[in-house]
Amino acid sequence: MELEDLPVADLIKIINEEDERVLKAVRSQSRAIESAIDLYVRTLKAGGKVVYFGAGTSGRIAFMDAVELYPTFGVGREAVIPLIAGGLDALRNAVEGAEDNISNADQDFLSVNPSSGHLFIGLSATGRTPYVVEILNKAKGVRAKTVAITSTKGSPVTQIADVCIVLDVGEEIIKGSTRLKAGTAEKMVLNSISTISMIKLGKTERGLMKSMVPLNSKLRERAISIVSDLANCSREEAESALLTNGWKIQKAIDFVKGRDAGQN
């Protein structure tokens, strides 16, 4: 029976079973992911930039991870930079031929003021996306550290990068549709790399986001809870300290603790 003839319930089961392979593929790359985290942490500690780049789904996943780091962990937008073939328009629309445009890859590479102190993380499910291959080669040319995340063993990106994370997710149920398991695997890997790096950079305390930037009412409520927990004070005291300190969580914590120390 062809895929198109199957009932919806069977198709859901097939996709769920295929997705189980993603976890195994990611788990098998723990050592390579650890190496990538080490480079990530060392780069940011030294004042360098981390640059994610990809085309299509991979580029969108790169953007998704990068843009969340500022509100979640207070990482400056100039510290972790996402690039996507075709530019910002490619986040909403398929930009035909963008991944093959080497000239644009060169321009995007230069836009981040590349140096040997940067870390470049390229995402390409096939491992041969010209945009990604070109930027990896350019990064090697300035002696920057490089990481490749791919689903294809022995592909061109694995021949270039210092650290290769190869995610063997198997063939997609719709052949060639790398937005499926390959995309899920890429997101899982970036979740691990960025989150663990932020933990090791001191952006959390007791599992709480003490470096979060409260940009909306939901996050401000969360900030109040974080200050209350970490400074061991009431929510009212926490909110007052946050207002006094421009909603900067660590400053508010220090403010409350300093005030309490002065009263003892």
CB proximity list for 242: less than 8 A, separation 6 or greater = 214, 220, 223, 224, 227, 248, 249, 252
Helix (H) or strand (E) holding 146: strand 145-150
68 catalytic per annotation? yes
* Catalytic, out of 2, 4, 68, 134: 68
State the CB neighbour count (10 A cutoff) for residue 190.
Answer: 22
- For residues 226 and 73, what is the distance between their CA atoms, to the nearest angstrom? 13
149's tokens: 């995340």
d(CA 167, CA 164): 10
The answer to whether residue 99 is catalytic is yes
Distance CA 202, CA 236 (A): 26
Query: Catalytic residue among 99, 172, 237, 239, which?
Result: 99
Report H helices in 74-127.
102-111
54, 125 contact by CB (below 8 A)? no
Q: Which residues of 93-111 are buried (b: 16+ CB within 10 A; e: fewer)?
A: eebeebbebeebbeebbee
Catalytically active residues, by annotation: 68, 99
